[in-house]
Structure 1
Amino acid sequence: MNTSMKSFATPLAGGAFFISAVTGVLIFFDIEMGAVEPVHKWLSWLLLAGVGVHIVSNWKQFSGYLSKKPALAIIGAAFVVAVGSLLPMFSEGEEGEERGAGVAAKALESSSLETVALVLKTTPQVLASRLEKVGIVSAEPSSTIRDIAARNGKPGEFVLGAVLGASGEKKGGDRDDR
């Protein structure tokens, strides 16, 4: 590969990585001011181009890594994460319809306390006591989770979490509410 390509491949990849890293961290912490999100999305193409040119211009050295087990493990793990992120388990469908666990959660939220008790193989009274432990008044067993949430000024997810035995609070995971 000629030296002119090598002379700009690494700075291009490094600069694009810096942009992607800064905007990615801002998006992660929901600091989306100005043009952060579009810059992150569109200049990621610059990162792809920079890394692609960098790999091509350093192919001999890169191909040497393909014979080393630790490097193959890292590349393989990155591939698994990339493919796994495409699985539709908890994402929304193409038309905004939910899939997987999201569908079940929405169905339970629109079900009565009696129905949820049947699903969980318990009684409405046990579920009502779980709700009372987190300060939620459940009223009638025929009330839906969504109705109970609305009467108590809580999100349906919080009430459903309490019914299912969780505290209903977020545990510090990294799923956002988008």
Structure 2
Amino acid sequence: MNLILNRLATPLTLGLFAVSTISGVALFLHVGQGYFHAMHEWLSIVLLAPFVLHVWKNWNPLVIYARRGALLWPVLASVAIAVPFAWPALSGKQQGGSPTIPMRIMMKAPIADLAPLLKMTPEGLQAALAAKGYKAASTQESIEKIAGENARTALYAVLPKGR
């Protein structure tokens, strides 16, 4: 165990922290999200193991920091910096989020109800769907039902051409 603590704890912590930093900056800048999202999440979780080993290895110096009060202020500052980011979710005033749930609801709604959201008349949406090869018997059918009857994916029925 001493071999792991002395030789691997700090280098693994630094290496995984570097990966987490690079992937985090890329995600922040919206660069290569497909490459970095899973990497960032999973390797940041993996980072916890060498972090715990690093803390274990350096427990005595950490206790000295805590006794002198040198640990308290950086920890409080870190929490104070983090709270504003978490506050909207904690207070229930968060906006945005994943469009998955609204999209599912829209796909199940009758096209008569969906058309105004797309700035169309129900008949206009029915005609637009027919032009794309989706046959709808009435404006009371949902996109999901129409797509299913035409053996296609529902979302493609309402996406603009070229997507």
TM-score (norm 1): 0.46
Cα 1:50–1:83 change in 2 (3 A) is farther
Mapped partners of 1:21, 1:69: distance in 2: 28
Q: Contact between 2:27 and 2:33, CA under 8 Å: does it hold in 1? A: no
The letter of the residue matching 1:43 is: L
Aligned match of 2:78? 78
The C-alpha deviation readout for 1:101-139, integer Å capped at 9, x for no partner, is xxxxxxxxxxxxxxxxxxxxxxxxxxxxxxxxxxxxxxx
The correspondence of residues 110-125 of structure 1 with structure 2, limited to 5 A, is none
Aligned CA RMSD, in angstroms, stands at 2.8
Deviation at 1:84, TM superposition (A): 4.5
Aligned match of 2:58? 58
Aligned match of 1:91? 94
Deviation at 1:95, TM superposition (A): 8.4
The letter of the residue matching 2:11 is: P
Aligned match of 2:48? 48
Q: Which has the higher helix share?
A: 2
Aligned match of 1:26? 26
Mapped partners of 2:98, 2:15: distance in 1: 36
Mapped partners of 1:93, 1:25: distance in 2: 22
The count of aligned residue pairs is 97
Instruction: Report % sequence identity.
Output: 30
Aligned match of 1:143? none
For structure 2, which runs of at least 5 residues remain unmatched after alignment?
A: 100-163
Mapped partners of 2:16, 2:75: distance in 1: 20
Deviation at 1:5, TM superposition (A): 1.9
Mapped partners of 2:59, 2:52: distance in 1: 10
- Paired residue secondary structure (1:78): helix
The letter of the residue matching 1:52 is: V
Mapped partners of 2:55, 2:71: distance in 1: 15
The letter of the residue matching 2:72 is: L
Q: Contact between 2:23 and 2:40, CA under 8 Å: does it hold in 1? A: yes
TM-score (norm 2): 0.50
Mapped partners of 2:37, 2:10: distance in 1: 24
Instruction: Look at both structures and tell me which one has the larger radius of gyration over its CA atoms.
Output: 2
The correspondence of residues 99-178 of structure 1 with structure 2, limited to 5 A, is none
